[in-house]
Amino acid sequence: MAGAAPRRNRTVVPDPRPPLARAGADSRFTRTVLTLIACGFLGLFVALPIVSVFTEALHDGLGPYFEAIKTPDSVAALKLTLLTAGVSVPLNLIFGVAASWLIARYRFPGKSALTTLIDLPFSVSPVISGLVFVLLLGARGLLGPWLEEHDIHIVFAVPGIILATTFVTFPFVAREVLPVMQEVGADEEEAALTLGASGWQILFRVTIPKIRWGLLYGVVLCNARAMGEFGAVSVVSGHIRGQTNTLPLHVEILYNEYNMAAAFAVASLLTLLALATLGAKKLVEARQHAEPVTRGH
């Protein structure tokens, strides 16, 4: 029998759907055309730019690639980016948990206004997010003279970069955690309370484990934006090489110097961060499906 053509299975597999569903489905032609359009669109506008980042970065080979990443300016930019994210993400994490606890658990006047205000930084242009700190804390700003007197430098220095980043990433954790907090309900917390747990014990032993996947996703998104923010940071940084340059700003400087391979090498680090962020998103979604949350009422 070896080599013989496999017998074609001629039994028609019955379509499990009711006849009407088949009548309403798209024809094979429509399906193919639409799928090609969708995939072509995503391929051309999203996948191709990613591929080009890595191709341009490795244009001169692996040696120059690592050289570009290891220059003192690149390392300083990486360190500042990590520091910025290391401060602003935990700040927004604490805020996100506090705000979503407040909004999900209690009713009080002004609650919906508060919810809208939390989203406010999303609708502000990154450039304006930087500008407001220059106008408030810069040399000619409202508090500028006072800061000058006390020799405190915020704008065109690291604290300004951290402040602007915190502003831009402000809503991320709260946004992801709030719906989860509302969905899981407060039954376990109330049970813990009647069993004599203190407020902090409830928070760390009951609430945070319950919302951990939403929390993790919020932190991942917040971190991606914190490390990648360009406009706001560009306005407040003052572009001092090796001092107030984050990775995205360093990409700009290298690019404007026509040092393309180096610019794309540094950009490839940020692209890897973005790909890791998407991977984490998929992972969190898979986890959420694996252990469905207990629905509150």
* 165 near another protein, judged by CB under 8 A: no
Nearest distance, CB of residue 1 and another protein, angstroms: 31
Give the residue, chosen from 80, 93, 101, 178, that forms a contact with another protein under the rule CB under 8 A: 101
Query: Are the CB atoms for 121 and 198 separated by under 8 Å?
Result: no
Q: Give the x/- contact pattern for another protein in 237-266, rule: CB under 8 A.
A: ----------xxx-xx--x----x--xx--
Give the residue, chosen from 75, 79, 142, 179, that forms a contact with another protein under the rule CB under 8 A: 142
Type of residue found at 13? V
* 154 near another protein, judged by CB under 8 A: no
* 228 near another protein, judged by CB under 8 A: yes
Where in 185-224 is the site for another protein (CB under 8 A)? 186, 189-190, 193, 198-199, 202-203, 221, 224
* 118 near another protein, judged by CB under 8 A: yes
What six digits make up the tokens of 2?
A: 């070896």
Nearest distance, CB of residue 137 and another protein, angstroms: 9
* 31 near another protein, judged by CB under 8 A: yes
Q: How many Å apart are CA 210 and CA 35, to the nearest integer?
A: 38
Q: How many Å apart are CA 297 and CA 295, to the nearest integer?
A: 7
Number of residues that bind another protein (CB under 8 A): 100
Give the residue, chosen from 15, 50, 208, 294, that forms a contact with another protein under the rule CB under 8 A: 50
Give the residue, chosen from 69, 82, 83, 102, that forms a contact with another protein under the rule CB under 8 A: 102
Q: How many Å apart are CA 218 and CA 213, to the nearest integer?
A: 9
Q: Give the x/- contact pattern for another protein in 168-187, rule: CB under 8 A.
A: --x---------------x-
* 134 near another protein, judged by CB under 8 A: yes
Q: Using the structure block, give the residue that is written with the tokens 């992801």.
A: 176
Q: How far is CA 23 from the centre of its chain?
A: 42
Give the residue, chosen from 77, 87, 133, 284, that forms a contact with another protein under the rule CB under 8 A: 133
Nearer to another protein, 185 or 242 (CB): 185
Which range binds another protein by CB under 8 A, 71-79, 97-105, 145-153, 209-217? 97-105
* 41 near another protein, judged by CB under 8 A: yes
CA dihedral 122, 123, 128, 130 (to 10 degrees): 0
* 53 near another protein, judged by CB under 8 A: yes
- Nearest C-alpha neighbor of 168 from the set 125, 213, 200: 125
Nearer to another protein, 1 or 126 (CB): 126
Type of residue found at 234? S
Calculate helix-pair angle for 172-184, 212-228, nearest 10 degrees.
Answer: 170
Burial (CB count within 10 angstroms: exposed 0-12, middle 13-18, buried 19+), residue 57: buried
Q: How far is CA 284 from the centre of its chain?
A: 13
Query: Are the CB atoms for 202 and 189 separated by under 8 Å?
Result: yes
